[in-house]
Amino acid sequence: MVSVLIFLGISTFPILSQTVIGPNQNFVWEGFSFVFPETVVVKLETTANKKLSVYPAKRDGFFMVVRTLPWNEPLIDKFLWKESVFTRGTEPKEIQKTVGNLNFQIFQADQIRNQNALRNQVWIGLDTKPGLWIWIQWKTDRKDLTEFFESNLFLPL
């Protein structure tokens, strides 16, 4: 049955909406504000937890996945996802950062995937309710993106 649905082009994933957002426009989702460095397509999806996916509309370079989670602390047993995010990551780092009045635990690692040098960051809100989880991946040759994401300009708090 599922293969028939896929063959017919019918999606079995419930996408609530898809929107184009211009650069530097404030986008609010679940009470959290985001700004993007270029025009993006934003997809709101329903899963076990709420999920926002962000992709560039015009050129390749980065993607972002934002989720709300039922927990808001990076406990050791909660990090089973860490290996899947940082597959063969090099120079992994773990830092804490305060943005506005929110504290984040940030995991960062570089990796080579499909002959692209990539930077991965996972931001976990330490004092957000619901729990906030942000996964950002961008090509390291896009210096504009490195400055944008590492200076946390995507969180206009």
With tokens 């590492």, the residue in question is: 150
pLDDT in tens, the chain (157 residues): 444 434 444 444 454 568 999 998 999 998 889 999 999 999 988 767 788 999 999 888 899 999 887 665 555 444 555 555 666 667 778 889 999 888 998 888 888 777 788 999 989 888 877 788 899 999 989 889 999 999 999 998 6
Q: How far apart are CA 120 and CA 71, in angstroms?
A: 22
Strand order in the sheet with 102-113: 15-21, 40-46, 50-56, 62-69, 131-139, 116-125, 102-113, 90-99
Can you give the pLDDT at residue 84? 53
Fold of 13-150: Protein Transport Mog1p; Chain A (3.40.1000)
- Residue 11: what pLDDT? 44
In this prediction the pTM is: 0.79
Residue in 75, 125, 121 with CA at minimum distance from that of residue 100: 125
CA distance 149 to 57: 18
